[in-house]
Amino acid sequence: MKHWMFSCSEISQKVSQSMDARLPFHHRMAIQMHLLMCRYCARFRRQLNQLRKMSRYDDSGILPPELPGQLSKDARERIKVSLRSQP
């Protein structure tokens, strides 16, 4: 019988999948249990959530209302210019 706990690599895949589709209840519970015990996977999930939020920016450079402004307007503009100049 397979062990009921997911490994860290399985958790990272499941966390990513959970952003695209609703996982079965037992998977969601196993993920939550793992995240309570593993600070590295919990950090990975926070970072993935942050990336997801950051990808919601539009061309105006306006932050979504749920995100605080962490970069100055000048810094954001430099990043946009740099990204646009890349092939």
Q: How many domains does the chain have?
A: 1
Q: Name the packing angle between helices 39-54 and 8-18 (round to 10°).
A: 30
Reported as a single tens digit per residue, the pLDDT across 1-31 is 355 678 999 999 999 999 889 999 999 999 9
29, 30, 64, 34: which is closest to 49 by C-alpha?
Answer: 64
Q: What percentage of the chain carries pLDDT values higher than 70?
A: 78
64 in any annotated domain? yes
Global model pTM greater than 0.75: no
Reported as a single tens digit per residue, the pLDDT across 41-57 is 999 999 998 888 877 76
65 in any annotated domain? yes
70 in any annotated domain? yes
3 in any annotated domain? no
2 in any annotated domain? no
What is the Cα–Cα distance from 76 to 86, expressed in whole angstroms?
Answer: 16
Q: 65: domain range? A: 8-85
At residue 84, does pLDDT exceed 50?
yes
pLDDT category of residue 81 using cuts at 50, 70 and 90: confident
Dig out the tokens for 84 from the structure.
């646009």
Dig out the tokens for 24 from the structure.
């079965």
